[in-house]
Amino acid sequence: MNQSLSAVAIAQLFLEARSHNAWLDQPVPDALLKQLYDTLKQGPTSNNCCPARFVFVRGAEAKQQLLPALKGHNGAKMLQAPVTVIVAYDMRFFEHLPELFPIYDAAAAYRNDPQAANTAALRNGSLQGAYLMLAARALGLDCGPMSGFDNALVDATFFADGRCKSNFLCSLGYGDASALRPVGPRLAFEEACSVL
């Protein structure tokens, strides 16, 4: 039976976690990126479809390739961050289902239905993007998710074969707490929830 996490862990994952826009000059090593993926990949997806694909943009040349797609201040934030992840989804994720979900032919629902494949890929890829942020926080990293960018330009630059589509970006590293804005309000339970 699962037990509740400690108050410290819940605070690190949710209550005290913030979206960062400024970063300390502290690298994120490859071993930590691998540990991050090995952690997030265990999060559930429908039929274990695992459609998310992650491009860790860290090198100066790769950052310059990504820069033209970013809008407003997001370019400066990405350039300062040690790593920015392109969270994308594979439109042909179902080709891996015989290996990932051998119980029955789950790929049959997607082979000839691009709309169903897109819906499943976006939904489950978004879940995996959220797992990325929670896993990063659990491993001591800070996150700066971004949606202010030109998806078509990112896709043309990083996914030229058309198989994958970008969903959102997320900078990773060690955030500069001195640059944080005040915490924004959230909706109350009564405003966002129903119990039927």
Q: Taking residues 6-18, report their average pLDDT.
A: 97
Measuring CA to CA, how many Å separate 151 from each of 19, 165, 169? 21, 8, 10
Count: domains in the chain: 1
* Structure tokens given for 24: 């300390």
Q: 92 lies in a domain?
A: yes
Q: 191 lies in a domain?
A: no
Phi (first) and psi of residue 81, to 5 degrees: -65, 145
Q: 196 lies in a domain?
A: no
Grade residue 1 by pLDDT with cuts at 50, 70 and 90. Answer: confident
Tens digit of pLDDT for each residue in 13-54?
A: 999 999 999 999 999 999 999 999 999 999 999 999 999 999
Q: Output the pTM of the full model.
A: 0.96
Mean residue pLDDT of the chain comes to 97
Boundaries of domain holding 95: 21-175
Output the domain CATH number for residue 37.
3.40.109.10
**Contact partners, residue 68, CB within 8 Å, separation at least 6:** 150, 153
Q: 1 lies in a domain?
A: no
Tens digit of pLDDT for each residue in 101-117?
A: 999 999 999 999 999 99
Grade residue 68 by pLDDT with cuts at 50, 70 and 90. Answer: very high
